[in-house]
Structure 1
Amino acid sequence: MAGWFRRLLHRPKPSSVERSSSASSSPSSSSAESSGSSPSTSLVRSIRLSPVLAPDISASSSARWAKSYDICICHSEVDLELVEELVSYLEGQPESFRCFLQLRDATPGSAVMTELCDAVQNSHCWVMLITPGFLQDPWCKYQMHQALAEAPMANGRTIPVLKGVDRKDYPRELRNLYYISMALKENSFRQIRDTVVRYLQELCRSSLSSTE
Structure 2
Amino acid sequence: MASSPSSASHTRSKKPLGKMTDWVRQALLRKPKMSVCAENPASDSPPPAAQDSPPSSGPSSIPAPTPPLTSVGTSSSGRWSKAYDVCVCHSEQDLVAAQELVSYLEGGAASLRCFLQLRDAAPGGAIVSELCQALSGSHCRVLLITPGFLGDPWCKYQMLQALTEAPGAEGCTIPLLFGLSRAAYPPELRFMYYVDGRGPEHGFPQVKEAILRYLQTLS
The two structures have a TM-score, normalised by structure 1, of 0.66
1:62-101 superposed matches below 5 A: 63-101=78-116
1:171-195, Cα deviation, whole Å (9 max, x unpaired): 1111000000111352611101100
Partner of 1:124: 139
DSSP-derived class of the 2:85 partner: strand
Q: Which amino acid aligns with 2:101?
A: L
Relative distance call for 1:113 and 1:90 in structure 2 (3 A) is same
Q: Which amino acid aligns with 1:115?
A: E
User: In the alignment, is the contact (CA less than 8 A) between 1:148 and 1:154 conserved in 2?
Assistant: no
> Number of matched residues?
146
The reply to whether residue 183 of structure 1 matches residue 183 of structure 2 is no
Q: Which amino acid aligns with 1:152?
A: P
1:137-152 superposed matches below 5 A: 137-152=152-167
Q: Which amino acid aligns with 1:159?
A: I
Mean Cα displacement is larger for which, 167-176 or 118-127? 167-176
Identity %: 60
User: In the alignment, is the contact (CA less than 8 A) between 1:159 and 1:179 conserved in 2?
Assistant: yes
Partner of 2:150: 135
Structure with higher Rg: it is: 2
DSSP-derived class of the 2:100 partner: helix
The two structures have a TM-score, normalised by structure 2, of 0.64
1:109-168, Cα deviation, whole Å (9 max, x unpaired): 111111111110000000000000000111111111111111112310000010122222
Q: Distance in 1 between matches of 2:194 and 2:207?
A: 10
Q: Which runs of 4+ in 1 moved over 4 A?
A: 59-62
User: Gaps (5+ residues) in structure 1?
Assistant: 1-58, 205-212
Q: Which has the higher contact order (CA 8 A, sep 6+)?
A: 1
Instruction: Report deviation, 1:93.
Output: 2.0
The reply to whether residue 161 of structure 1 matches residue 176 of structure 2 is yes
DSSP-derived class of the 1:203 partner: coil
User: In the alignment, is the contact (CA less than 8 A) between 1:71 and 1:126 conserved in 2?
Assistant: yes
Mean Cα displacement is larger for which, 164-173 or 123-132? 164-173
